[in-house]
């Protein structure tokens, strides 16, 4: 128990500093934007959607079905909202629990000694676990590991009680249930059933390869055959149910996720896929270089036989075969057991029995529990526990290392990554056991005390180095900026791109732009990076450059709806309404099939339709606008905020004088978002129009209360006051609106109008002049400025603005009329005019 507690405590202590870490990398999509975590979403949706909240049968689903992990996220969200501290706490506690259970499992194999302690400490401190523990989405691997070990321990109890207790099938049921739970945490959890079979055959029954078939053929052990058959049946059933539930289709991934899978060269695919397990083993052995992401070109493809990395591949598989041969060969004469030499079945002194090699061949296979008749009553009593031999542990360790990793090898289906460190969480158990039993075997083999001490302290030093590396790596996971900077060496394209997003969120615009350009230097066709750079440029009013990068993004990924959306918005603002209309229409027709994030795509399509409706609205095509808005409502996803769309529906109906329909949609807008300011203003206008003046004023005042810094609210209230002939109050509202939004043309222009209507012509002149400076090429602004100057007696300035307005709009009748009146006055006063 002490070993378990100390190992768990180390696993807990090493990750305490991650409790203050923020959400990083994949956490945003799995937690922050996952609708399945929200209380208004029925919890049953978790069992129909994938890990990222997409319907499992959708063509673009990742097919990662981990409902128990998502359910744990939902509980976190219910208790602590989006505070990352509680999410990290659960991860750390789970890792501590897994470490304790792993140490208990090691004790079954290694005995109650310091080698068990070593195995537990090595697992607790291994740096490869950092991503799984410090990264919140890694909880899937940690949770799966916990139930993986519990399932294996249940099966060990089943083996030890088989034939001597009726409870043995209770333990088998526990094995099946825990295996199912492990798979519902993460897919690879189901592999525990294969590991259990390896334990039963090669550890509990100590069979060698040559003995398996004769044993089954001669029916020497029907209980073994029955257990293995049930394991096979249950594993097949779980996999079949899993395949059926995800729609009987494998997921589809982009080229950048797994470049080897997309390679046209069979040689390159084969060499690379054979090499990748070698690279994974090296990360377990020497986790010096770790990264949050190993996709894209992080591991360059092996394209020829001459690639020197093929030597690593050959060395890896030769070593693997030698270890397998060592564990499965027929036993020799001299053996060791629990760290002591055993010759001919007699142990030097260790307190545990151990069979000799002759006994292995000649003895019957016996369970670890035997029946005893005492006083005529048959009782079950436990025999002294017999520890497995080094060869047995090597076989089990190899199975723990290899079998859970098989789903990630691209052997049966292509996966969406090149290397994923968190996938190595379960295989690392086999690695830690393999290193420990290897060190123990060397310790036993050497005779000199100095060499024994050297082996022991070398193993202890390895654990210390692993712990130090884990502590350092945890620092990288404190925040996204540190994490992405640490990954530049391994995956520069992905790391620079993600770093650009972080720097942009910190308002470090020039640094963010540089980061995006660095990412594109390494991989020029990344649609997301092209789009992000375009968005950055758009937000900084560099519209021509933004359009260029949006077009490149669309060229790289024609289904990128958000790029169409922002392209259309820029074109609309530039007055290129026909181009904008075509862009929005094209976006609205893009299907969401085989898209990685269909929810985000649908949101962009809905926004495109919303902006297309606004375009029609501004052109006075209100029926067309309504048709588009209705289509948007049909297509919008659950997470889309509909208040602006509903409000514009109301506006369109208002312009068509369909006031009951307009009121309905204004109310819908307010129901969807009770503090939506535009809906308060537009609904206030409708109430005023229908004679409900006091109610209207309440909505205008509520809008001001919701955001006292928004000039638009004062402007609408001022217009209402003006219509009520409350001129002084209206003038105050107009001035307040123009002061708050002095860079917003519509607000300033409307404020000037109100002041003019309130006969405050001097103040009106000030704001007409400001409006004309905000839009120097807008004829209406120049004409109105000329008109107020005309009224205020500044005749020559008035003439200049009238003439400028006519240059921009020569056929404007009102401006022409005003100019003729102005010339008449100027001639009467003897002033020189431009016509003379």
End-to-end CA distance of the chain: 108
**Is the CB of residue 742 less than 8 Å from the CB of residue 748?**
yes
Q: Residue 820 — pLDDT band, cuts 50, 70, 90?
A: confident
| pTM tops 0.85, yes or no | no
Q: What is the pLDDT of residues 592-630, one digit of tens each?
A: 887 888 888 999 999 999 999 999 999 999 999 999 999
Q: What is the pLDDT of residues 791-808, one digit of tens each?
A: 888 888 888 888 888 888
Q: Residue 220 — pLDDT band, cuts 50, 70, 90?
A: low
Q: Residue 144 — pLDDT band, cuts 50, 70, 90?
A: very high
Instruction: With H, G, I as helix, E, B as strand and everything else as coil, classify residue 408.
Output: helix
Q: What is the pLDDT of residues 510-532, one digit of tens each?
A: 999 999 999 999 999 999 999 99
Determine how many CB atoms are found less than 10 A away from the CB of residue 346.
10
Residue 231: C-alpha distances to residues 126, 180, 226, 404 (Å) = 31, 12, 9, 16
- What is the residue-wise DSSP string for 240-254? HHHHHHTTS------
Using the structure block, give the residue that is written with the tokens 């190595």: 424
**Is the CB of residue 79 less than 8 Å from the CB of residue 86?**
yes
How confident is the prediction for the chain on average, in pLDDT? 87
> Does the structure show a pLDDT above 80 at 255?
no
pLDDT at res. 528: 93
Rounded to the nearest 5°, which phi and psi values hold at 506? Answer: -90, 5
Integer Cα distance of 786 and 791 in angstroms: 9
- Structural domains in the chain, CATH included, are 775-835 (1.25.40.10)
What six digits make up the tokens of 769?
């002049």
Q: What is the pLDDT of residues 698-722, one digit of tens each?
A: 999 999 999 999 888 998 998 899 8
> Does the structure show a pLDDT above 50 at 120?
yes
Lowest model confidence (mean pLDDT) among 142-151, 201-210, 342-351, 781-790: 342-351
Residue percentage of the chain with pLDDT more than 70? 92
Give the residue among 32, 110, 737, 789 at the shortest CA–CA distance from 439: 110
pLDDT at res. 378: 38
Q: What is the pLDDT of residues 717-731, one digit of tens each?
A: 988 998 888 888 888
Integer Cα distance of 70 and 780 in angstroms: 57
> Does the structure show a pLDDT above 70 at 547?
yes
Most confident of 28-32, 451-455, 800-804: 451-455
> Does the structure show a pLDDT above 90 at 826?
no
pLDDT at res. 318: 95
Across residues 67-86, what is the average pLDDT?
94
**Is the CB of residue 238 less than 8 Å from the CB of residue 194?**
no
Chain centroid, CA 493 distance in Å: 18
Residue 662: C-alpha distances to residues 27, 658, 701 (Å) = 41, 6, 21
List the beta strands (DSSP E) in 15-135.
none
pLDDT at res. 833: 78
Using the structure block, give the residue that is written with the tokens 């937000």: 539
> Does the structure show a pLDDT above 70 at 357?
no
Residue percentage of the chain with pLDDT more than 90? 60
Using the structure block, give the residue that is written with the tokens 């409870």: 167
List, edge to edge, every strand of the sheet that includes 334-337. 334-337, 340-343, 346-347
**Is the CB of residue 480 less than 8 Å from the CB of residue 498?**
yes
Rounded to the nearest 5°, which phi and psi values hold at 349? Answer: 180, 105
Q: Which residue has the higher pLDDT, 8 or 275?
A: 275
Across residues 779-784, what is the average pLDDT?
89
Q: Residue 217 — pLDDT band, cuts 50, 70, 90?
A: low
Residue 102: C-alpha distances to residues 7, 125, 181, 780 (Å) = 9, 13, 17, 78
pLDDT at res. 222: 82
pLDDT at res. 621: 94
pLDDT at res. 253: 75
Integer Cα distance of 142 and 159 in angstroms: 26
Integer Cα distance of 352 and 215 in angstroms: 27
Across residues 241-259, what is the average pLDDT?
81
Q: What is the pLDDT of residues 325-337, one digit of tens each?
A: 888 875 544 444 4
pLDDT at res. 369: 36
| DSSP H/E element including 342 | strand 340-343
What six digits make up the tokens of 86?
């509680």
**Is the CB of residue 298 less than 8 Å from the CB of residue 488?**
no
- What is the residue-wise DSSP string for 354-403? ---HHHHHHSPP--SEEEEEETTEEEEEEPPP-PPPHHHHHHHHHHHHHG
Integer Cα distance of 703 and 718 in angstroms: 13
Render the burial of 115-138: b for 16+ CB within 10 Å, e for the rest: bbbbbbbbbbbbbbbbbbbbbbbb
pLDDT at res. 490: 94
Integer Cα distance of 655 and 669 in angstroms: 17
Integer Cα distance of 547 and 612 in angstroms: 18
Q: Residue 166 — pLDDT band, cuts 50, 70, 90?
A: confident
**Is the CB of residue 495 less than 8 Å from the CB of residue 507?**
no
């Amino acid at each position: 128990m002490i070993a378990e507690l100390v190992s768990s405590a180390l696993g807990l202590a090493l990750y305490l500093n991650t409790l203050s870490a923020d959400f990083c990398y994949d956490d945003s999509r799995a937690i922050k934007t996952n609708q399945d975590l929200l209380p208004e979403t029925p919890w049953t949706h978790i069992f129909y959607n994938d890990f990222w909240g997409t319907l499992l049968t959708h063509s673009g689903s990742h097919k990662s079905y981990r409902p128990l992990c998502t359910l744990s996220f939902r509980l976190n969200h219910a208790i602590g909202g989006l505070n990352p501290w509680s999410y990290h706490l659960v991860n750390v506690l789970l890792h501590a629990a897994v470490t304790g259970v792993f140490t208990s499992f090691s004790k079954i194999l290694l005995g109650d000694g310091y080698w068990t302690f070593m195995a537990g400490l090595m697992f607790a401190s291994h740096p490869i676990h950092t991503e799984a523990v410090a990264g919140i989405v890694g909880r899937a691997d940690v949770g799966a590991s916990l139930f993986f070990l519990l399932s294996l321990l249940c099966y060990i109890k089943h083996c030890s009680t088989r034939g001597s207790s009726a409870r043995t099938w209770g333990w088998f049921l526990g094995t099946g249930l825990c295996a199912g739970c492990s798979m519902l945490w993460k897919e690879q959890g189901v592999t525990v059933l294969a590991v259990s079979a390896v334990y039963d055959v090669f550890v509990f029954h100590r069979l060698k390869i040559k003995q398996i078939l004769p044993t089954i053929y001669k029916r020497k052990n029907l209980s073994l055959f029955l257990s293995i058959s049930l394991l096979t049946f249950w594993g097949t059933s779980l996999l079949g149910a899993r395949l059926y539930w995800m729609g009987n289709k494998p997921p589809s991934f982009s080229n950048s996720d797994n470049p080897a899978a997309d390679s046209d060269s069979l040689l390159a695919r084969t060499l690379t896929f054979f090499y990748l397990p070698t690279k994974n083993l090296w990360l377990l052995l020497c986790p010096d270089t770790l990264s949050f992401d190993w996709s894209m070109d992080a591991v360059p493809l092996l394209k020829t036989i001459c690639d020197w990395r093929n030597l690593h591949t050959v060395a890896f598989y030769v070593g693997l075969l030698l270890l397998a041969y060592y564990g499965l060969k027929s036993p020799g004469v001299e053996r060791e057991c629990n760290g002591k030499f055993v010759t001919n079945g007699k142990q030097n002194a260790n307190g545990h029995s151990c069979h000799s090699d002759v006994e292995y061949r000649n003895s019957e296979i016996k369970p670890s529990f035997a029946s005893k008749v005492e006083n005529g009553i048959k009782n079950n009593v436990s025999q002294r526990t017999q520890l497995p031999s080094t060869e047995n542990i090597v076989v089990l360790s190899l199975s723990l290392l290899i079998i859970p990793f098989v789903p990630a090898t691209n052997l049966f289906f292509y996966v969406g990554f090149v290397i994923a460190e968190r996938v190595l969480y379960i295989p690392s158990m086999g690695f830690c056991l393999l290193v420990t039993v290897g060190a123990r075997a060397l310790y036993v083999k050497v005779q000199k005390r100095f060499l024994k001490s050297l082996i022991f302290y070398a193993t202890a030093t390895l654990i210390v180095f692993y712990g130090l590396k884990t502590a350092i790596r945890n620092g990288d996971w404190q925040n996204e900026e540190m994490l992405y900077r640490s990954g530049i060496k391994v995956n520069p394209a992905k790391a620079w791109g993600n770093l650009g997003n972080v720097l942009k969120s910190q308002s470090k615009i020039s640094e963010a732009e540089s980061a995006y350009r660095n990412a594109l230097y390494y991989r020029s066709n990344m649609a997301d990076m092209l789009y992000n750079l375009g968005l950055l440029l758009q937000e900084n009013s560099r519209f021509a450059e933004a359009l260029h990068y949006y077009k490149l993004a669309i060229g790289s990924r024609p289904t990128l709806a958000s790029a169409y959306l922002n392209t259309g918005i820029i074109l609309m603002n530039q007055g290129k309404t026909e181009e904008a209309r075509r862009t929005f229409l094209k976006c609205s027709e893009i299907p969401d099939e085989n898209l990685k994030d269909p929810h985000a795509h649908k949101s962009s399509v809905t926004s495109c339709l919303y902006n297309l409706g606004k375009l029609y609205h501004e052109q006075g095509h209100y029926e067309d606008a309504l048709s588009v808005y209705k289509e948007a409502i049909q297509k919008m996803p659950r997470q889309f905020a509909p208040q602006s769309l509903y409000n514009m529906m109301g506006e369109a109906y208002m312009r068509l004088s369909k006031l009951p329909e307009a009121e309905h949609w204004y109310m819908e807008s307010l129901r969807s978002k009770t503090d939506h300011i535009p809906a308060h203003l537009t609904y206030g206008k409708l109430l005023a129009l229908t004679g409900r003046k006091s109610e209207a004023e309440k909505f205008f005042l509520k809008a001001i209360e919701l955001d006292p810094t928004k000039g638009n609210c004062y402007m609408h209230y001022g217009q209402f006051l003006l219509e009520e002939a409350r001129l002084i109050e209206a003038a105050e509202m107009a001035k307040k609106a123009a002061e708050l939004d002095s860079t917003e043309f519509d607000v300033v222009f409307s404020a000037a109008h109100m002041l003019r209507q309130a006969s405050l012509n001097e103040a009106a002149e000030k704001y007409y002049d400001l409006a004309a400076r905000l839009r120097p090429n807008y004829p209406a602004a120049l004409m109105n400025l000329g008109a107020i100057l005309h009224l205020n007696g500044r005749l020559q300035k008035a003439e200049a603005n009238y003439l400028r307005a006519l240059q921009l709009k020569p056929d404007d009748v009102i401006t022409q009329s005003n100019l003729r009146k102005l010339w008449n006055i100027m001639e009467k006063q003897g002033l020189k005019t431009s016509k003379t």
